[in-house]
Amino acid sequence: MTVEEKLKNLYQLQTMLSEIDKIKTLRGELPLEVQDLEDEIEGLTTRIEKIQNEIVELKREVADRRASIESSNAAIARYKEQMDNVRNNREYDSLNKEIEFQSLDIELNQKKIREAEEAARAKAEETQRCTEQVTERRTDLDIKKSELEEIISETKAEEEKLRERAKNLEVQIEPRLLAAFKRIRRNSRNGLGIVYVQRDACGGCFNKIPPQRQLDIRMRKKIIVCEYCGRIMIDPELAGVEVDQPVEEKPKRRSSRVRKSESSSED
């Protein structure tokens, strides 16, 4: 395969891939928006599960502390019964201290229960807010998915056709050249791996191309890349593109009045 044929195939491939890029552009930010919404819903769902587990733990703590209060009340009642049968002040003081300790333990448990119940209420409210957010996000997700599916359904057949043609064309291109072309495409912002000369400049980065290099491109004897952006260069005629040639401005003729003025000044 000649260099001319290689360049022609590359440019045809570039045209097909650019059409596919245009189809992707039609979808805009919808795929990213759908992905973001799905990630947000997943994050909110995970948070709801975590909060619900925390509420269960708080309720378990409340139940344990209430059981501890009942145990303390039973102990206080038992100590009070024993105080009726004390034989000396030492036993009385010891029982009194036990009652005081159990009373303090009851107060502490009651305080912890209030704190746990308040935390559980706050977490229940947070769960409600997160649930409402999930409902809203799912509604938005359904709308975005519907829009995306509509666009995809309109362009799917055309995109598949272009991809099939591009795949068949890639087989005809030398593997090393194809790999270089794809690498250039990945590194370029506009996805162009091969460009034609426009107004004596590179069609990708628009830097000026020396006349000798332009001649080499028109000769089609070897693969030439732009020394600035690295894109492969092709002759517009080979690419089948009509390029407007820059119009050279003709020097303006001086009026006879100006010439007479200049001649009189010289005299």
For the stretch 197-228, pLDDT in tens is: 888 898 888 999 898 988 988 888 888 888 88
User: H or E element: which one contains 106?
Assistant: helix 89-170
For the stretch 56-70, pLDDT in tens is: 999 999 999 999 999
pLDDT of 265 higher than 70 = no
**Predicted confidence band at 247 (pLDDT cuts at 50, 70, 90)?**
very low
The confidence score (pLDDT) of residue 263 equals: 53
pLDDT of 24 higher than 70 = yes
pTM over 0.85: no
Higher pLDDT, 30 or 64: 64
CATH code of the domain occupying 27-170: 1.10.287.1490
Q: Which pairs from 58-66 meet CB under 8 Å and 24+ separation?
A: 58/116, 58/117, 58/119, 58/120, 58/123, 59/116, 59/120, 61/112, 61/116, 62/113, 62/116, 62/117, 62/120, 65/109, 65/110, 65/112, 65/113, 65/116, 66/109, 66/113
Average pLDDT over residues 136-162: 87
The confidence score (pLDDT) of residue 107 equals: 95
For the chain, which residues make up each domain, given as ranges? 27-170, 175-239
For the stretch 164-188, pLDDT in tens is: 889 888 888 888 988 988 898 888 8
